[in-house]
């Protein structure tokens, strides 16, 4: 089949859902011959982008057979790409304040081509059409994420589409055990209202790369389970955000939790009977003897959900320990909600990653984000070409795109 016999058009929910699901099932993630990861979108192929400010899904359909042989999703938002120094004079003095520089960025995810129709230019055609839509909407950059050893994806995006390697964050995954994680007695965890969480994030994190300008939409989304702040030694109730910001404790940490279980389910396929047997045995022992706190393997060989931790941050010498306490709290919440794993994505040099418990076998030490400049940079206080900027210690991972 030549690429001229394929039509790229917008996804039509009424007639395309079942056919898109077939393509998704044929495109499991993972090396050939080894365990693979299947993503079940639960009958809603566009669910992974529909919470973004602007989104589009395209399909590639064969002209003759009217068979869907490829698909791609994309979304657009405004994020921080750098910061600038501003002098804010008050009472005759000057205070240096770093302000965010925003740009309009697009994100590509869910590119799939049926195995029987690969190496025919379909992937390139889908990416090109999606980029046309990005430009129409005024996006200045486009980026995508893939495994660092995904040769086919890298060849398409870097060699043929002009993307360059940009950032290498880590995806850290922790299984949800049958027992609850014990939290430190000297740590107090407060739940912030969406309004307080927004103010805190804008005050403390708005200059971090990829911080979404519409953070309020994220925090008020029904999939957001809350924002939680951990401090040491607090014996009183929440003092209020104004007091916290004006006189913060020596150490604190914060994170938010996103309920990805309501968006998609995952399933590990291709595991041997030995692996399955070991996992089942660990769960049975953990359930029967929870006080032993055995790190059991959840049932990941059937569809399972996950909670995503995002917006991680903190300050002070005890912030790593407080981050670990928050992750324990998130684990226990995921256990109550019936999730199989808790995941997060952080920059390679994120100082707080030492406090994020995870299993190496389930995690990805080096994910790869590739970026392309679509046109001139019209961002406020331009940073030049963002694709050439050095990485910072942190990135803000938008849960709507995970």
What gap in Å lies between CA 232 and CA 221, rounded to an integer?
A: 29
Q: Give the model confidence (pLDDT) of 32-52 as tens digits.
A: 434 567 788 888 889 889 999
pLDDT for res 4: 61
Provide the CA 395 distance to its chain's centre, in angstroms.
11
The pLDDT of residue 383 is above 70? no
Q: Residue 295 CB: number of other CB atoms within 10 A?
A: 12
What's the CATH number for 3-168+366-401? 3.40.630.30
Give percent above pLDDT 90 in the chain: 69
The confidence score (pLDDT) of residue 32 equals: 40
Residue 376 is predicted with a pLDDT of 63
What distance in Å separates the CA atoms of residue 147 and residue 310, rounded to the nearest whole number?
20
* Number of DSSP helices (H) and strands (E) in the chain, helices first: 8, 15
**Cα–Cα distances in Å, from 336 out to 13, 178, 331, 345?**
33, 10, 9, 22
Q: Could you check whether 3-168+366-401 and 172-355 share the same CATH topology?
A: yes
CA distance 134 to 15: 25
The residue to which tokens 């996804």 are assigned: 11
Q: Return the CATH architecture of domain 172-355.
A: 3-Layer(aba) Sandwich (3.40)
191 pairs with which residues across the strands?
228
Q: Is the pLDDT of residue 92 over 50?
A: no
**pLDDT for the residue 269:** 82
Assess whether pLDDT exceeds 50 at residue 215: yes
Task: Give the C-alpha distances (Å, rounded to integers) separating 188 from 130, 185, 228, 317, 326.
Answer: 46, 8, 10, 16, 10
The token duo for 263 is 């968006």
Averaged pLDDT, 355-374: 93
Report the C-alpha dihedral over residues 274, 275, 277, 280, rounded to 10 degrees. Answer: 170
Whole-angstrom distance, CA of residue 290 vs CA of residue 332: 13
Please say if the pLDDT value at position 356 is more than 90.
yes
Q: Which segment of 55-69, 326-340, 349-363, 368-382 scores lowest on mean pLDDT?
A: 368-382
Q: 163 and 374 in contact (C-beta within 8 Å)? A: no
Is pTM beyond 0.85 here?
Answer: yes
Average pLDDT, the chain: 90
123 touches 113 (CB < 8 A): yes
Least reliable range by pLDDT among 148-152, 191-195, 212-216, 346-350: 148-152
User: Per-residue pLDDT for 160 more than 80?
Assistant: yes
Query: Per-residue pLDDT tens for 96-143?
Result: 788 999 999 999 999 999 988 988 999 999 999 999 999 999 999 999
Domain boundaries, the chain: 3-168+366-401, 172-355
């Amino acid at each position: 089949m030549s690429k001229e016999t394929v039509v790229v058009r917008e996804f039509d929910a009424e007639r395309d859902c079942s056919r898109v699901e077939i393509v998704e099932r044929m495109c499991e993630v993972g090396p050939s011959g080894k365990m693979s990861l299947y993503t079940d979108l639960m009958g809603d192929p566009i669910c992974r982008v529909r919470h973004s400010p602007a989104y589009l899904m395209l399909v590639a359909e064969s002209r003759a057979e009217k068979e869907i042989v490829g698909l791609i999703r994309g979304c657009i938002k405004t994020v921080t790409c750098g910061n600038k120094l501003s002098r804010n004079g008050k009472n005759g003095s000057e205070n240096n304040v770093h302000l965010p520089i925003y740009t309009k960025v697009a994100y590509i995810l869910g590119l799939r081509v049926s195995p029987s129709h690969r190496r025919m230019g379909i992937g390139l055609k889908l990416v090109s059409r999606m980029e046309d839509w990005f430009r129409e909407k005024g996006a200045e950059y486009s980026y995508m994420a893939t495994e660092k050893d995904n040769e086919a994806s890298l060849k398409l995006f870097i060699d043929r589409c002009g993307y360059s390697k940009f950032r290498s964050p880590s995806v850290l995954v922790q299984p949800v055990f049958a027992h609850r994680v014990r939290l430190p007695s000297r740590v107090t965890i407060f739940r912030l209202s969406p309004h307080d969480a927004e103010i805190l994030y804008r005050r403390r994190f708005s200059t971090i790369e990829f911080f979404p300008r519409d953070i309020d939409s994220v925090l008020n989304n029904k999939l957001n389970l809350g924002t939680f702040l951990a401090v040491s030694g607090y014996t009183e109730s929440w003092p209020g955000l104004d007091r916290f910001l004006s006189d913060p404790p020596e150490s604190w940490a914060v994170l938010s939790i996103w309920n990805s279980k309501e968006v998609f389910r995952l399933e590990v396929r291709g595991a041997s009977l030995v692996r399955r047997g070991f996992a089942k045995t660990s769960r049975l022992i953990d359930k029967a003897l929870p006080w032993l706190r055995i790190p059991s393997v959840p049932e990941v060989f059937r569809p399972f959900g996950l909670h995503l931790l995002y917006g991680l941050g903190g300050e002070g010498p005890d912030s790593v320990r407080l981050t670990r306490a928050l992750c324990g709290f998130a684990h226990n919440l995921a256990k109550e909600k019936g999730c199989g794993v808790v995941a997060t994505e952080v920059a390679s040099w994120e100082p707080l990653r030492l406090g994020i418990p995870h299993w190496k076998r389930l995690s990805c030490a080096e994910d790869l984000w590739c970026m392309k400049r679509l046109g001139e940079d019209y961002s406020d206080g331009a940073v030049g070409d963002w694709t050439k900027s050095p990485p910072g210690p942190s990135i803000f991972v938008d849960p709507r795109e995970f």
